[in-house]
A and B are shown apart, each in its own frame.
Chain A
Amino acid sequence: AQSVTQLDSQVPVFEEAPVELRCNYSSSVSVYLFWYVQYPNQGLQLLLKYLSGSTLVESINGFEAEFNKSQTSFHLRKPSVHISDTAEYFCAVSADDYKLSFGAGTTVTVRA
């Protein structure tokens, strides 16, 4: 079975500042890794995913995450955040069974 630990439950950040959300996973098999975002009163949306290949993956809105197998991590970063990035972010892991195991989430609050 796989599990995910998100190390920060709340991250306040000023607009245009960088942000990093930390995610560590545990698994005895090869995994696939995901970041989902949940805006207020909306469903979860896939932000980015790592399935194979390059360990650095990017989203269309400026987020990136790096898969680090030796440290079993998949941290999410953005060099400059906007007010609209205020949301809850979930890290998730899956093996070959197509089931997702989610972390507890990190709430990002961007302030002007």
Chain B
Amino acid sequence: EAGVAQSPRYKIIEKRQSVAFWCNPISGHATLYWYQQILGQGPKLLIQFQNNGVVDDSQLPKDRFSAERLKGVDSTLKIQPAKLEDSAVYLCASSQGGEAYEQYFGPGTRLTVT
């Protein structure tokens, strides 16, 4: 089966610019997650979707970050405007939910803000 797809793989922008990341989860996976992984740290959950509804966005900096999951499939994560401290790898993951527990991760998007 195809894995979690993410694009772009790399992005370099200047501070105060906007950027968007796209994720296509594994087919049939109801739950989708966005994580931020800063260099030298473990991934930190930004937002969790169940189908197209938000389950948890308590760690999402809502003044500059937004995310949506239309039709319960693909998702986009947007940063507007970007700050230097947003430089990180943004990981998308999906899971079947229920008793499965296993999350499948995409390759990530490496964002550099200059």
Interface residues of A (CB under 8 A from B): 4, 32, 36, 41-46, 49, 51, 90, 92, 94, 97-105
Contacts and interface: CB of A to CB of B under 8 A. Distances in A.
Interface of B: 3-4, 31, 33, 40-45, 48, 56, 91, 93, 95, 97, 101-108
B42 A103 contact: yes
Contacts of A102: 42-44
12 contacts: A4-B42, A43-B91, A44-B105, A45-B105, A46-B102, A49-B102, A92-B42, A98-B97, A100-B45, A100-B103, A104-B42, A105-B40
Given A49-B101, A105-B40, 10 more contacts: A43-B106, A44-B93, A44-B105, A46-B102, A98-B97, A99-B48, A99-B56, A101-B45, A102-B42, A105-B41
Residue from B42, B56, B107 whose CB has the most chain A CB atoms within 10 Å: B42
